Chains A and B, each alone.
Chain A
């Protein structure tokens, strides 16, 4: 008995020992792809292309906690709040600040790396992808790579040009000149404008977008190289769009879509919710970031759609009526948090040129807010009026024009 058992256990041990060694430790991921097993067919490549669209949309949101580095501190808008988060002064930018690095990060980490992965092997004849699909995949990747390099050239000037997929970390990147970066972008766009489809589903890059961007890049090149021939190229590229050679696009001149049933004008129609994409009749927008509430992929989290509306509105819900009823946040206005306060230049001065400019209409810039708490019957629906007191503070006023004791927290 003892002998048998000993033999058996020894056998067990032996079997275990000699079973497999190396092969026992082979690692095959169970729940995730690697580029090698993903990029094998059209669907795999398209998933990689979709991630480029997601990356492109992040340009809009990456600075969200700091609220729009691209506008605050410029002549457009200023930091409207009393806390320290927002960038106030471009002259104080230092390498310490996120504002300096965040767009570089975005460009290389979210965009160029994804585009280069697609372009790495898309021309491989072994891939079983139809020619049309292959061209459109390649066109989109080239477009986004060019879009990103153009962005980098405009923000940082010359940057290192990464043309290929990197598989081992590199440490010896060297900046190319701004001209080289723009030329590289132009080259990608020239190719993309041949490859992209003319008619595309909503949200996808159409060929016209490549021509549109190309005309901009040519202008930059013309300025940078002081070579006027680029302006002709730019005109030629833009003409492709204007003449509808690259698709049916035009400036909208008539009101359209569901929004046309509401007070407004054609300019507000172009930006109205639900009618930004071409299928809704909007022929002015070639390509738009897509936001969709309550759908995974609709934004960074499914329950949020485009939340940046709040950056631009005043904190009207912090105001109370002269009778002490607090204003209520409302869906139609968003919950403004007053972080991006338009400058007086944008609010008033620029419009002195032409007060009747459509873009200055009440439908496009809201200057009047209302008391909206129905509990206060006297003020419900009445505009919020203010007056500067002798102490320099801004006070709301009662309907008879007398200042209340309610001070507004305004820019100082």
Chain B
């Protein structure tokens, strides 16, 4: 058994780690190390080649001498054939032998050898301004240009590529940063580029000499990151904030913005639910709250996106996504931010000239991953085994007998499948004039799941406009409208799992759904609703945020932010009469309306106090209100279907439900940022929030935070460490609140329990209390500390951000299980404590960047460990240890989502002593006797033998993105890897899955002839309700995209700014041992609930702008 477990563990590791290692293993980085030039040239090498290309010879030398050549293929005749025989010659000699004949000269720079074209004799040596170009006789139209390329400190930069713009001709700089080359007369620009520096274009004009200073590419550091109520340069951040590489996701068929975060950002766990257009579950840094919400706050264009859904934002409209993870970054959102904050910024006009861009893609989807049920052959065999195990007939129903006789079989998941095209069109115009910046877009997305009836379409538009009305007043509006339509009735996946391969889904006419495809009441037709019913479901969402920004005085400004979100949704359902079901029509109409109003007053003051010190103050006062209302009408026994849900009034049994909810919040916040010489940075903030749903005296909470950071690279002692471009150390602490409870949670509520008196009587309204009031209900509070390091090194080829955090959440909003003798089973109160800690590593590397080729890797690694520290503090059994809450599955000292059960101990074989479990038979599961009523093993399996055996949380998650690009061509892959975590898998036991009348999961089972020790017999009743836990590790090739940017040269002719064509695939392959529904959401029962099989999508697309 032990061996088996070890073997299993190894296999798991292999499944998930394998692909990762594969890719990681390929990464070998090559950075320059200082070695004296002469020492290098004196290295001895031996080389013998016959008619080989210069390129391959250089490569051989690279390997032997452990050096790197740097050259432009346009300059060095790489295809030139070389024949050479050299034994124990110095590198210098060998280079002379092969390079001189082809007029190539070399210089040593560190461990690199830079090759450039040797100019005619008279111009070798240093290029000086005095040297005037002498046009060669054969190149009348060419002229000579030379110069020096230096870094900001004035040191010469060797190896910089110098290319005449629009051509392929060029050279590289020598060891002193000098260069010289022939250029065509009409050439106007030279392009200088070097790894780790910003490329630069220099206008040549009539000059013969240019001096170029390249600036280091600290783009990543200068990038502006959205923080709460403002922006900051990445360099100046004090908290743990991750920016999502939005560009990377542009080519992916993402139907909603949550997918852009999936597997790309450390510490952010997105669980896709497989439904087109629906937002997946997002969790940042694990689970803090037990009963209250664990969803992060969404902030859209600087204002809380209250009442809005990510599903309403067209992913293409998104300019950037920043994830605020640590408590100090999020504390300024106080009570809303305990679960992290996602800041989304939509696009706005940038350039002077209007830019039109049109993007489109089209493709199709299939199932990415399905549980495997018995096929026809295995189904028949299993039924035979069932008869043997049961010792009696397990007869088929007549419809199955007919189909078996006729050899007619179905594949259930093929039967409920539809063709699933996906297409997307969007058009945007953006631009900026002197006073106005604008962005306007419209988009249409249509996507279907391969599951019949699961459809989605969205029309979306956005207008972002800002106007500088005067030099001190800026007015603007950011607005979006979307209309989501998921009309249709999804095929019932639960019923599809029951379908026998010999079921008949249709009546004799071949079209009408057969209500009971196997003639057993258990198995309803999964397509009945899909084929017969009419369901219209549309949600219209409007988001409008108007703002006025007033510059009052030097550095002092005031901003008024007003946002209004309104969602109107309707769901209309009609089930027409259907004779085979013996039913009349019935229908319903539901209208929902949600409105959110947010008003925020923000005063900010930015001032350079002294040349070295600067100050940044933000003050906020805001009010938030949410109002919801709905009405629902339904009736039954509608005798005529012609008018569907629009004639509910002709039916019977009317039902009306009307509802309304309201909650409000008030907030005040102050933040102070202070910086000394950009070296030492501090942020201190405090926020006070009041929320209406808490008890009268506890509505307000105060949430302070502080963060410090130190830009180590600014220190003088770091100057000599040239390899480290940037190093920052951060530490932060903050306190956040969680108000994630429903309205009226602190009040005693009453629910409707109707009754009918007398035969043919009408409804009598009954009302009974459904919850206990808790006037003391207040804030759940999290305190979190984060320490982090940001590094960029080796010409910024490596950048890493590492964060370690620990969080203590207390006064949990806990739905405590109370003795039901109270009349209620749970009571929402502030009690208990959880802890989370974890590590996040975001690593980005440029593995290769040479010539036009680049290979970049991004790794997002994270793990989170969580633990329940305290619950109610009660010790009813007086054992001196606080009681676990078994009913709620909460165990002190153990993580949330723990699996509390008996310990599997193999299978009872024939002849075994069965006295451990009363009523046991061979083939039953043997459990470990670990305790008893007296706390010691008692030779019996009792409830005391249960313990926490595992939990469902992953050990770690890895997202791995690789991009290979060569000129306009780019290939990108993203792997999403989850390791560890066990979830309940009830489908593993045929004995509880109607093995006698329906299909079940293709799993092994014990038989006397095949007495395995891992799975019980086919008809095992599972008297103790064991959960059959399975590992949910998986590795998934989540995204692959290949794109090509048509070269500017070609586009210029047809007056197009840019044109990109691409193909892309999503959820291409999944490696896992998990046998249930998709391991990402990990349902182990027959019903995937609201989830569905993930979409494996292939698309081809086109992006044009002009």
Name A's B-contacting residues (CB within 8 A).
1-2, 5-6, 9-10, 12-13, 16-17, 21-22, 24-27, 29-36, 38, 44, 47-55, 57, 82-84, 89, 91-92, 94-96, 104-105, 108-110, 112-114, 116-117, 159-160, 162, 166-171, 173, 201-204, 274, 276-277, 279-280, 290-292, 294-298, 302-303, 317-318, 320, 324, 326, 331, 335, 337, 392-393, 406-410, 412
Given A84-B1022, A294-B636, A296-B754, verify A169-B818 contact (CB < 8 Å): yes
Q: Is the CB of A409 within 8 A of B394?
A: yes
Q: Is the CB of B394 within 8 A of A54?
A: no
Distance, CA A278 to CA B399, complexed state (A) = 47
Q: Chain A residues with Cβ under 8 A from B1021's Cβ?
A: 84
Q: Is the CB of A96 within 8 A of B1025?
A: yes
Q: Chain A residues with Cβ under 8 A from B699's Cβ?
A: 22, 25
Q: Chain A residues with Cβ under 8 A from B637's Cβ?
A: 294
Q: Is the CB of A48 within 8 A of B766?
A: yes
Q: Is the CB of A9 within 8 A of B560?
A: yes
Q: Is the CB of A31 within 8 A of B601?
A: no
Shortest Cβ distance from A361 into chain B, in angstroms? 25
5 A/B residue pairs, CB under 8 Å, sorted by A? A51-B767, A52-B768, A89-B919, A295-B761, A337-B521
Q: Is the CB of B393 within 8 A of A393?
A: yes
Shortest Cβ distance from B642 into chain A, in angstroms? 21
Return the contact of A201 from the options B750, B758, B766, B823 (Cβ within 8 A): B758
Judged by a CB distance under 8 angstroms, whether B788 is at the interface is no
Distance, CA A50 to CA B754, complexed state (A) = 7
Q: Is the CB of A51 within 8 A of B766?
A: yes
Shortest Cβ distance from A290 into chain B, in angstroms? 6
Chain B residue nearest to A160 (CB atoms) is: B821
Return the contact of B747 from the options A29, A52, A108, A114 (Cβ within 8 A): A29
Task: Encode contact with A along B986-1000: 1 for CB under 8 Å, 0 otherwise.
Answer: 000001101011000
Distance, CA A410 to CA B660, complexed state (A) = 53
How many inter-chain residue pairs (CB < 8 Å) link A and B?
281
Judged by a CB distance under 8 angstroms, whether B911 is at the interface is no
Return the contact of A2 from the options B398, B473, B743, B751 (Cβ within 8 A): B473
Q: Chain A residues with Cβ under 8 A from B751's Cβ?
A: 32
Distance, CA A407 to CA B654, complexed state (A) = 46
Distance, CA A153 to CA B335, complexed state (A) = 49
Q: Is the CB of A298 within 8 A of B769?
A: no
Q: Is the CB of B822 within 8 A of A82?
A: no
Q: Is the CB of B767 within 8 A of A38?
A: yes
Q: Is the CB of A32 within 8 A of B636?
A: no
Given A30-B661, A84-B1022, verify A51-B753 contact (CB < 8 Å): yes
Shortest Cβ distance from B56 into chain A, in angstroms? 70
The segment out of B126-134, B224-232, B418-426, B687-695 that lies at the interface is B687-695
Q: Chain A residues with Cβ under 8 A from B1024's Cβ?
A: 94, 96
Q: Is the CB of B759 within 8 A of A202?
A: yes
Distance, CA A249 to CA B66, complexed state (A) = 109
Return the contact of A27 from the options B399, B693, B919, B1022 (Cβ within 8 A): B693
Output the residue of A12, A170, A203, A280 with the most chain B CB within 10 A: A203
Shortest Cβ distance from A107 into chain B, in angstroms? 9
Given A27-B744, A34-B749, verify A113-B823 contact (CB < 8 Å): yes
Chain B residue nearest to A278 (CB atoms) is: B758
Q: Is the CB of A326 within 8 A of B666?
A: no
Q: Is the CB of B769 within 8 A of A114?
A: yes
Q: Is the CB of A35 within 8 A of B943?
A: no
Q: Is the CB of B560 within 8 A of A12?
A: yes
Judged by a CB distance under 8 angstroms, whether B610 is at the interface is no
Q: Chain B residues with Cβ under 8 A from A407's Cβ?
A: 393, 395
Q: Chain A residues with Cβ under 8 A from B874's Cβ?
A: 171
Q: Is the CB of A30 within 8 A of B660?
A: yes
Shortest Cβ distance from B648 into chain A, in angstroms? 13
Q: Chain B residues with Cβ under 8 A from A173's Cβ?
A: 819, 821
Given A162-B823, A277-B758, A297-B754, verify A27-B943 contact (CB < 8 Å): no
Nearest 10 interchain pairs by C-beta: A113-B823, A297-B754, A50-B766, A51-B766, A202-B758, A51-B768, A203-B757, A407-B393, A30-B660, A84-B1021
Distance, CA A34 to CA B743, complexed state (A) = 13
Q: Chain A residues with Cβ under 8 A from B1095's Cβ?
A: none
Given A12-B560, A51-B768, A290-B761, verify A113-B824 contact (CB < 8 Å): yes
Number of residues on chain B facing chain A (CB within 8 A) = 100
Q: Is the CB of B769 within 8 A of A35?
A: yes
Q: Is the CB of B996 within 8 A of A82?
A: yes
Q: Chain A residues with Cβ under 8 A from B691's Cβ?
A: 25
Shortest Cβ distance from A187 into chain B, in angstroms? 20
Q: Is the CB of A170 within 8 A of B822?
A: yes
Distance, CA A294 to CA B918, complexed state (A) = 46
Given A2-B473, A202-B761, verify A292-B756 contact (CB < 8 Å): yes
Given A109-B825, A202-B757, A290-B757, verify A171-B819 contact (CB < 8 Å): yes
Q: Is the CB of B391 within 8 A of A412?
A: yes
Distance, CA A112 to CA B997, complexed state (A) = 42
Name B's A-contacting residues (CB within 8 A).
390-395, 397-399, 470, 472-473, 519-521, 548, 550, 552, 558, 560, 582, 586, 599, 601, 621, 623, 629, 636-637, 652-655, 658-666, 690-693, 699, 743-744, 746-751, 753-769, 772-773, 816, 818-825, 827, 874, 876, 918-919, 943, 991-992, 994, 996-997, 1019, 1021-1025
Q: Is the CB of A34 within 8 A of B748?
A: yes
Q: Chain B residues with Cβ under 8 A from A17's Cβ?
A: 601, 621
Given A2-B473, A30-B662, verify A335-B769 contact (CB < 8 Å): no
Chain A residue nearest to B399 (CB atoms) is: A326
Shortest Cβ distance from A319 into chain B, in angstroms? 9
Q: Is the CB of A290 within 8 A of B755?
A: yes
Q: Chain B residues with Cβ under 8 A from A22's Cβ?
A: 690, 699
Q: Is the CB of A302 within 8 A of B818?
A: no
Shortest Cβ distance from A365 into chain B, in angstroms? 23
Q: Is the CB of A326 within 8 A of B519?
A: yes
Q: Is the CB of A203 within 8 A of B769?
A: no
Shortest Cβ distance from A132 into chain B, in angstroms? 18
Distance, CA A166 to CA B660, complexed state (A) = 28
Q: Chain B residues with Cβ under 8 A from A110's Cβ?
A: 768
Distance, CA A29 to CA B623, complexed state (A) = 20
Q: Is the CB of A162 within 8 A of B821?
A: yes
Return the contact of B392 from the options A10, A89, A406, A412 (Cβ within 8 A): A412
Distance, CA A31 to CA B662, complexed state (A) = 10
Distance, CA A114 to CA B756, complexed state (A) = 18
Shortest Cβ distance from A156 into chain B, in angstroms? 11
Q: Chain A residues with Cβ under 8 A from B666's Cβ?
A: 21, 24-25
Shortest Cβ distance from B794 into chain A, in angstroms? 50
Chain A residue nearest to B760 (CB atoms) is: A292
Chain A residue nearest to B471 (CB atoms) is: A2
Q: Is the CB of A27 within 8 A of B748?
A: no
Shortest Cβ distance from A364 into chain B, in angstroms? 21
Q: Is the CB of A203 within 8 A of B761?
A: yes
Return the contact of B398 from the options A50, A324, A392 (Cβ within 8 A): A324
Q: Is the CB of A54 within 8 A of B766?
A: yes
Output the residue of B394, B749, B754, B816 with the most chain A CB within 10 A: B754
Q: Chain B residues with Cβ under 8 A from A92's Cβ?
A: 918-919, 1023
Shortest Cβ distance from A395 into chain B, in angstroms? 9
Shortest Cβ distance from B652 into chain A, in angstroms? 6
Q: Is the CB of A295 within 8 A of B820?
A: no
Q: Is the CB of B768 within 8 A of A31?
A: no
Q: Chain A residues with Cβ under 8 A from B394's Cβ?
A: 82, 409
Q: Is the CB of A280 within 8 A of B759?
A: yes
Q: Is the CB of B762 within 8 A of A295?
A: yes
Shortest Cβ distance from B220 into chain A, in angstroms? 37
Return the contact of B755 from the options A12, A32, A34, A53 (Cβ within 8 A): A53
Q: Chain B residues with Cβ under 8 A from A331's Cβ?
A: 582
Distance, CA A33 to CA B766, complexed state (A) = 12
Distance, CA A337 to CA B599, complexed state (A) = 60
Given A25-B699, A169-B827, verify A13-B661 contact (CB < 8 Å): no
Chain A residue nearest to B623 (CB atoms) is: A16
Shortest Cβ distance from B498 into chain A, in angstroms? 12
Q: Chain A residues with Cβ under 8 A from B654's Cβ?
A: 296
